[in-house]
Structure 1
């Protein structure tokens, strides 16, 4: 897959950039640099066609005065003195942090000086930025002599550095700069340095296109445009489209769906600036992306932490427009609500809610759920197949464990694993994260949405999950099955937000979690052939890791995780998840049905929920 190719390019980046850094760097110290552009000579009068694609916020963190003082900082870190004048020590790594090194070598922090020039027309600010850029070119020749982290920062920073050079060129004309832009763009143009149809590839492609337009290299510009079109319409390497025909982003992350929404808007601007119309189908898919994101916003206005996502508010999404994103960001006050109450996305999502605040319930009082299936883990996804989220009674009830960033491999590995999600885990069986999960059935009816999944992601085990998402009363009914050749320990895992406390019930059949006036009951319903083991509640365990919520980079919160285990060759677990406000536990009665099914009748919150669990594993709400 293309992501693996990109990772290989990162590791080999120092050697691959040898020619780039040497060719550009050799010319930096001479008054009359030798030509190094291998393609057509840069065209005159093309500056206006290039778009400055921005500096990822590093310009605001590094204003011109700080740059002149020789200081540099990244988000969440203190400024570091990195230069004497414009002589920078490019070998610094004060925080032993690859992300810090990446942004350092990206040169995007020079945006503070470039923007100062656009405001004040002070040539000194611009000359400072140009001199530091030339210093980078001179000092990073022969990157093979550097350590792996610096080589990777040089390689991975190529597209960001190219953006900075293009932005600098809009105000500073110099042959050495055109040559540096050409070399960086030619490196990006190589097939082995294209990341594929996800956000890295999008950035590379539009950067390649705008750089080619800026220096008059039609070959580079056209290659960038073709990659953008292919990413959405004809993705290479068997990947899903960056945005598919239903509007779903392929990165399996709520955060990156929002991020890609902005990046593709910028890519459209680049196409237009380079004199190319944006195809109608790309515009249509981009518009549908808003509804895809809206389904991942809770009735409380929070963007779910699906995939590698930090906690965020929908109200923080830039330029929400007047459609579904505006609707969820304002909790139904403005915008247009999605047409469907619940829907399936072929990219691997079942998402729905009791309503959008349009049928007697206020928007914030609706229930909402999501579930994941589809292709194996890709890009910024996690191993969350069959994983559920659930929002009811104005609270998040079931949540993913979150995302910590990219500088802590141990935490990242756990957060990507099934153990960090609301899913069914088979202990002792190897897990294949690339395994697909099938949606085998679904039916959406007001008051009872049902869907069913199956896969063989755990070696030697066939796993299935049936879900009934009910409203009035608001609850989930989940029937899981794991069939293995040898006896296995199988666990249903349920992760609650950190605000909850939880304890196992006295009889060990379930658990109760409490936050404020909301109490959530996890009630296991006995099924023939499965002997349940006692329920467990884990909070803040490090060995092994369990019971954590990670809302943002390097911030970990202990939170309850409920485990409902059983052991056998065929384990079936039927669980009612019932949130209540009155503190009363659900009253549950069961009765057998002809053919081996079971009828479950539960009374709670002053309402009744009757469900049939059929012998084939399907669930159906009964009148």
Structure 2
């Protein structure tokens, strides 16, 4: 690559013009107003409060928050200043350059930086991108100094010792691409391209599943990588057909992962968000409730990277937004933005979420709320609460079968000491009934629990004599209901989260993180039983026009691994038979 000591061509001052796309690079709606606030010393880095202070104090940490410090040193907050400067405002141009030079004086070389976030992974790549986009603002008299700053970033990002994985690595490679583009450094551009090509193979596997274990990050990575391909092509480079295939599959996966009413489930570090349009014809279909895009062909998604999605359909026989949708987590333990949620089940139907997980809090290390929401206790995961647990490397799928009428998964979790736990999931699309059967075997008699975290705002009506609870909600003037009926006697506990317990006792059961450092109270329904060998089996079904009637066909009083059920909804009825080899559904009338 070109070094400062070698003869070099002039800077490419057109890079910012062709690369200014994406959320943090495009022209903001109120560039002038945002710039004026910054000139007045007011910095707004959402979701944090506005800070008024010395914006060139590179040791600042006004909120004691990792994310704020990261954003501060990434310098993306200069984007509106850059645009206002490009519009001809001299004060904005001067502020942009003064900030860049101040940052460089304080933090280059990296060893002298007053904050550990100055050269933390990804902040370096994002800042390199912002510096490159602003090349047109650099005063002619300061070109040599700017070149030194850009070369330092390029060389830093070219050094493999500074690279990380995941989406953080993606932004480092893009930072290298843009700095090399401004410096007219073709080898640097090609190095960035090669690294992006390798990184994409880690980000999305051949089935299109993202590596980070989060629904929101799956969508974000799809957006970021689509933009990465566009950035490469703007510089005359490309990633090739394998990249196109992986991103196409990732878009199809996002459509399956999406709830029928156009939102994302809170899997891993995920706030509550809508599915974006423009990423894939299938996601457009979900995001627009079938008004545009293309209807997917497959009802089931089953992947090797620990994600299975079941659904009643794609809106052919009932309104798309009222279809039933289930997500099951399993497989290897993922890094980055996943939670301890393997074995968990998410359930949505009739236009609402019903059974959810603890959601998202923040990235603040050692925060008790974040730790709880990421733990197994913050998810719909069966467990032996009195036995030690070590998270296993793999929660495998022991058996799976998917057909037109019955879908079945059998999962194994051997993380408990001296105990074995399986979760069997059976979904029948005709009667729209989900069975979740947890079977535990332990070396000593102990309790097995099956918790279900209920969606915010849903009411819980308990019928302990019938081993049943009924959930009620409201959507579009309708009041749908979902029934949870246990197939054998269990102890049922309904815990409603209240602020006093959260603040005084630190009891976080039933609290759901909906967005940054924001939790809302809900309810946890827990079924339990004790013994050497225990089975907890629950049937979950929407009421639709009428409830699903469920009765045992066999004469056994206990609910073991083999039994049969008669299912009836209106004038339609079925027999569901389960044994150790699988499940079969026989339609009697319909």
Within 5 Å, which residues of 2 pair with 1:504-515? 504-507=462-465, 509-515=467-473
Q: Work out whether 1:435 is the aligned partner of 2:402.
A: no
Return the offset for 1:302.
Answer: 1.5
Aligned to 1:91: 59
Aligned to 1:319: 278
RMSD: 2.8
Aligned to 1:368: 325
Q: Work out whether 1:159 is the aligned partner of 2:125.
A: yes
Within 5 Å, which residues of 2 pair with 1:286-365? 286-314=247-275, 317-321=276-280, 323-358=281-316, 360-365=317-322
Return the offset for 1:576.
Answer: 1.1
Please point out which of 118, 135, 147 is paired with 1:178. 147
Aligned to 1:21: none
Q: 1:213 to 1:414 in 2, by over 3 A?
A: same
Contact 1:580 1:604 in 2 (8 A): no
CA deviation string 1:53-92 (max 9, x = no partner): 6673898487221222222111134432223xxx722233
Return the offset for 1:376.
Answer: 0.5
Aligned to 1:33: none
Return the offset for 1:308.
Answer: 0.9
Return the offset for 1:581.
Answer: 5.0
Q: 1:544 to 1:458 in 2, by over 3 A?
A: farther
Query: Hey, what's the Cα distance between the residues in 1 that align with 2:161 and 2:212?
Result: 20
Q: Work out whether 1:101 is the aligned partner of 2:72.
A: no
Runs of 5+ consecutive residues of structure 1 not aligned to the other structure: 1-35, 234-240, 527-531
Please point out which of 102, 106, 109 is paired with 1:139. 106
Q: 1:209 to 1:140 in 2, by over 3 A?
A: closer
CA deviation string 1:563-607 (max 9, x = no partner): 1112233222211113325686844224158x9721122435664
Structure 2 residue matching 1:138: 3-state secondary structure: helix
Query: Hey, what's the Cα distance between the residues in 2 that align with 1:73 and 1:365?
Result: 40
CA deviation string 1:211-270 (max 9, x = no partner): 12221334433332222111233xxxxxxx211212221211111111111111121122
TM-score, normalised by the number of residues in structure 2: 0.88
Aligned to 1:412: 370
Structure 1 residue matching 2:126: 3-state secondary structure: helix
Aligned to 1:622: 586
CA deviation string 1:411-447 (max 9, x = no partner): 2211111222222122133434452121222222234
Q: 1:78 to 1:48 in 2, by over 3 A?
A: same
Return the offset for 1:114.
Answer: 0.7
Query: Hey, what's the Cα distance between the residues in 1 that align with 2:576 and 2:136?
Result: 66
Query: Hey, what's the Cα distance between the residues in 1 that align with 2:26 and 2:46?
Result: 8
Return the offset for 1:476.
Answer: 0.9
Query: Hey, what's the Cα distance between the residues in 2 that align with 1:508 and 1:108?
Result: 58
Q: Work out whether 1:114 is the aligned partner of 2:82.
A: yes
Query: Hey, what's the Cα distance between the residues in 2 that align with 1:440 and 1:40?
Result: 61
Structure 2 residue matching 1:64: 3-state secondary structure: helix
Query: Hey, what's the Cα distance between the residues in 1 that align with 2:27 and 2:370?
Result: 29
Contact 2:125 2:173 in 1 (8 A): no
Contact 1:494 1:562 in 2 (8 A): yes
Return the offset for 1:210.
Answer: 2.1
Query: Hey, what's the Cα distance between the residues in 2 that align with 1:600 and 1:39?
Result: 80
Contact 1:476 1:576 in 2 (8 A): yes
Please point out which of 209, 224, 234 is paired with 1:248. 209
Aligned to 1:31: none
Q: Work out whether 1:523 is the aligned partner of 2:485.
A: yes
TM-score, normalised by the number of residues in structure 1: 0.83
Within 5 Å, which residues of 2 pair with 1:188-337? 188-196=157-165, 198-233=166-201, 241-314=202-275, 317-321=276-280, 323-337=281-295
Aligned to 1:377: 334
Q: Which moved more, 1:511-520 or 1:383-392?
A: 511-520
Q: 1:226 to 1:187 in 2, by over 3 A?
A: same
Aligned to 2:575: 610
Structure 2 residue matching 1:591: 3-state secondary structure: coil
Q: 1:393 to 1:523 in 2, by over 3 A?
A: same
Query: Hey, what's the Cα distance between the residues in 2 that align with 1:212 and 1:220?
Result: 5
Return the offset for 1:287.
Answer: 1.7
Query: Hey, what's the Cα distance between the residues in 1 that align with 2:438 and 2:386?
Result: 18
Query: Hey, what's the Cα distance between the residues in 1 that align with 2:329 and 2:7?
Result: 51
Runs of 5+ consecutive residues of structure 2 not aligned to the other structure: none
Return the offset for 1:115.
Answer: 0.8
Q: 1:301 to 1:76 in 2, by over 3 A?
A: same
Return the offset for 1:135.
Answer: 1.0
Structure 1 residue matching 2:491: 3-state secondary structure: coil
Q: Work out whether 1:44 is the aligned partner of 2:44.
A: no
Contact 1:534 1:565 in 2 (8 A): yes
Q: 1:519 to 1:476 in 2, by over 3 A?
A: same
Within 5 Å, which residues of 2 pair with 1:54-65? 56=24, 60=28, 63-65=34-36
Contact 1:55 1:108 in 2 (8 A): no
Query: Hey, what's the Cα distance between the residues in 2 that align with 1:513 and 1:191?
Result: 53
Return the offset for 1:52.
Answer: 4.7
Please point out which of 558, 564, 569 is paired with 2:521. 558
Q: 1:318 to 1:343 in 2, by over 3 A?
A: closer
Q: Which moved more, 1:208-217 or 1:504-513?
A: 504-513
Q: Aligned pairs, how many?
A: 563
